[in-house]
Chains A and B, each alone.
Chain A
């Protein structure tokens, strides 16, 4: 009987300790999960901000002046006329003169 009692008391104490330890561990894991989730949310928010910044920097209204400075103007009506003529000229120029053709 005594042995049984001692065993029961020890088991109760052990179970209580185990419960306490499990509870503590659970809270720690919970805190860890919350921290990870917060970090994930922050990373996602940072990515969203970076994507918005990249889109803002790459917007055509910002790029256009730089492109124009490099001589990259948008197409104009006159260029289409010149382009058609230029294509004909290039085609003619691509054909070597008769005296230079390989027999």
Chain B
């Protein structure tokens, strides 16, 4: 291809059809020298370029390098914040250091373990020694989610085989407030119970590498942190005052079913998984079903009114005992004259509601319990609520005892939701722990507006009647109405007369009810203040009065102007 470069001896130049070699002899050395020089120069320039780049890299260094440890270990989960209905933070992800070791570069295993045990006293040193013994490993978790202060102490140990990875960990600024409802997350930041689990189920939690917080908008709970604090404060005070073993309370929007505050004490700390397994800290509001006693009389009376059996002016003679399936039910303090329906409810007459139940019959009673949602399981965002427990047999005696709450056990949250329908005009309400946007009210009617109006009058009477069992709950101007309930707790083979659940189911203001509350005290003791009594009249009713007087201003409910 190029002429004159290949010279083959014995081959005539002319035969190659190229210029004679002699013509090039003079210029060839010069040309070759120039080409060689050019090649050398190019090589020198190339090597100078490489040397320059190496010098630049040596002097300036490279940009920060990242080392991928292990994809599965690097994966965490980012969760959206949970805020209350006013935007105040309830739960958030924060980046926290997690400590790991590289066993392959551990110099002195025993010394390392001893040093770590001084900083982390609860460290399982035997397990750590075993983990660090395998020098083929490059990664061993030591402790995840350290506080910055502890991480600094570990850092100052100066151990080259120790390092930190920042991970997202759940933080609850309000501590154990509403712990049962909020639930908990596991070590990988995935929800295990409560609202936290709900976020996972709804696909709002995303896997991430590192500690990048979720970019999703916060989830708005229906809770009001201020009301929640007041409720837990008052509930704790009531537990102390009446020496009860446990207590639960809920504040519910009567129209939408939004739960503004809910607590079961002793509470649980979302960061302490062990507390969720403690039987003493079980969720008594939505995690178990309990007999709440005479509270159920409100539903029996509502059934009678709605079915046209009785009205506000109906009078029943409750002075005589009633018979059912061979059993006799009589009043503890029989009145001299027949009582109106309102008086039956106010005085919590077993015979009165028993008569109404027998008039209605078991079938109608069953149908109304279904309407009230007191015979089916319900589910909230915090999980399934145990189904109410009702007797399998429905003879006359069961019909009578069910009418005053004996033999029916339901979760207090479910009973509070049923109560909302009694006072909100007759519309079914489903309890929710998430804020409804926009605020939507139920359209499923289960009672007539007239029945609801009558119930408002009668429930208010429980608090205002001179013989009313709920009069200790009255707060001037707040127009509270409700129903007391004291139920003996079950034991093997019957009921324990020394242990009761005292409750007060209330709504306010009764002229146009906006909120429903249900406060229950588990195993309260008689005190000097209660004259040794354990009934709701002496404890749950006044505790509810104090609770409502505290939360009403927070909820914008004030006494009317004179």
Q: Which residues of A contact B (CB under 8 A)?
A: 28, 31, 34-35, 41, 44-45, 48-49, 51-56, 58-61, 64, 74-77, 79-81, 83-84, 87-88, 91
Contacts and interface: CB of A to CB of B under 8 A. Distances in A.
A60 B171 CA distance: 17
Given A56-B173, A80-B477, A64 B63 contact: no
Contact of A75 (B174, B175, B550): B550
A34 B166 CA distance: 17
Nearest to B477: A80
Contact of A55 (B88, B233, B475): B88
B211 A41 contact: yes
Contacts of B550: 74-76
Interface stretch (B11-19, B153-161, B224-232, B313-321): B224-232
A76 B95 contact: no
Contacts of B174: 55-56, 59-61
Chain A facing B: main interface SS: helix
B326 interface: no
A35 B88 contact: no
B173 A52 contact: yes
Given A45-B94, A61-B174, A75-B552, A87 B226 contact: no
A25 B552 CA distance: 65
Nearest to A31: B63
A19 to B, nearest CB: 14
A75 to B, nearest CB: 5
B523 to A, nearest CB: 25
Given A52-B94, A83-B477, A41 B89 contact: no
B272 to A, nearest CB: 17
Given A64-B229, A80-B475, A80-B476, A48 B173 contact: no
Contact of B63 (A28, A56, A80): A28
Contacts of A53: 173
A53 B95 CA distance: 13
A75 B173 contact: no
A87 B562 contact: yes
Instruction: Pick the most buried of B166, B175, B476: most chain A CB atoms within 10 A of its CB.
Output: B476
A48 to B, nearest CB: 5
A95 to B, nearest CB: 14
B390 to A, nearest CB: 37
B456 interface: no
A60 B229 contact: yes
A69 B418 CA distance: 41
B49 to A, nearest CB: 9
B94 A83 contact: no
Given A56-B173, A61-B175, A80-B476, A48 B210 contact: no
Contacts of B173: 52-53, 55-56, 59
22 contacts: A35-B64, A41-B210, A45-B211, A48-B94, A48-B95, A48-B213, A54-B89, A55-B92, A59-B173, A59-B174, A59-B225, A59-B229, A60-B174, A60-B226, A60-B229, A61-B175, A61-B177, A75-B552, A76-B546, A77-B475, A79-B549, A87-B562
B229 A87 contact: no
A51 B80 CA distance: 13
B416 interface: no
